[in-house]
Amino acid sequence: MHLRIPLQLAALSCLIFPLAPAAAQDATPVAAVGAQVVAPLPADLLPDEAGPIYVARATYEPGAGEDLVPDNGLTVMVVETGLLSFVGEGDARLVVSGEAAPAGEVELAPGSAAILPAGAGATVSNEETAPATAIMVGVYPAEGFVPVDPAGADAPGGTQQWALLGKGSPQALPPPSTLSIERTELAAGDELALDVPGVAVVYVEAGAVLATVEAGLVEASSGAFLRTGGFGPGAAFVGPGDDRRVRAEGSLFVQPGTALTLGNEGDEPAAVLIVRLEPNGGPQGTPAVS
């Protein structure tokens, strides 16, 4: 059965981790604190005018799998933990060590990225004995977007689980050229300054952060639900001079041209996942300081 996914995949350490080779190797999570994945996105595959952008985490239990067939836009899957078997069809592409590679039948290790434009297809499965996760980024066209709910659909070999981490529609966005994913940890009292020329989704995995906006606009949500395609209670717009506390499982959608600071005013560490689409080839930010 073909499962049609609306999600299309579409950072802050000074050390940039290259995308790992698409071959079996130690399953070290690419989402380790400070790790950053950078995947160049071919301009010819991006929508002329970006519409909704989704970020989700897909969990594949042993034996689980699915067919990914994007109807429109662009889907990028970045393996986060474990190993996934991947069989690409049509114009499916891989990014390995930051370079494009042909997409055939391969085993994807953490850091490997699969790029699926509209009409391309892929079968993804977990043939290992441990669960695997992948970050899924979807970049849709401004018109013609029809959300589809993959939750509960049949999948070959088992059932995959999806968790929507954040979504939004950019007010304006030049064609992005780089996707970056980073997980960073803020100790008590730490701050992280972000300048976002493109767009970003900030997902709080643990603890809480105070987001203070200096310029631009941020949309904050206390939670997200993939089945409804909507956000839970607490969604709010945060403009210059305003702030918003975001707790675990909450998210921020950062509009283009926004400058903000994430601060941990609590007593416990806060873990944050940052996914960016940048028009100029790289994320910008100031490392956390005590």
Query: What's the pLDDT at 93?
Result: 84
Domain-wise residue ranges, the chain: 36-42+49-168, 178-289
Distances (CA, A) of 100 to 27, 96, 106: 22, 6, 14
The reported pTM is 0.80
Confidence label for 135 from pLDDT (cuts 50, 70 and 90): very high
DSSP-derived secondary structure letter, 198: S
DSSP-derived secondary structure letter, 255: P
Order of strands across the sheet that contains 121-125: 65-68, 121-125, 84-89, 105-108
Determine phi and psi for 17, rounding to 5 degrees.
Answer: -85, 120
Query: What's the pLDDT at 145?
Result: 59
How much is the average pLDDT of 172-177? Answer: 70
H or E segment to which residue 162 belongs: strand 160-168
Confidence label for 225 from pLDDT (cuts 50, 70 and 90): very low
Any idea which residue has 């970056």 for tokens?
A: 180
Q: 178-289 belongs to which homologous superfamily?
A: Jelly Rolls (2.60.120.10)
Whole-number average pLDDT of the chain: 75
Order of strands across the sheet that contains 160-168: 99-102, 93-96, 113-117, 74-81, 132-141, 50-60, 160-168
| CA–CA dist 114, 96 (Å, integer) | 9
CATH of domain 36-42+49-168: 2.60.120.10
Confidence label for 15 from pLDDT (cuts 50, 70 and 90): very low
Which of 66-70, 97-101, 151-155, 273-277 has the largest mean confidence?
Answer: 273-277
The answer to whether domain 36-42+49-168 and domain 178-289 are alike in fold is yes
Q: For a pLDDT cut of 90, what percent of the chain falls above it?
A: 37
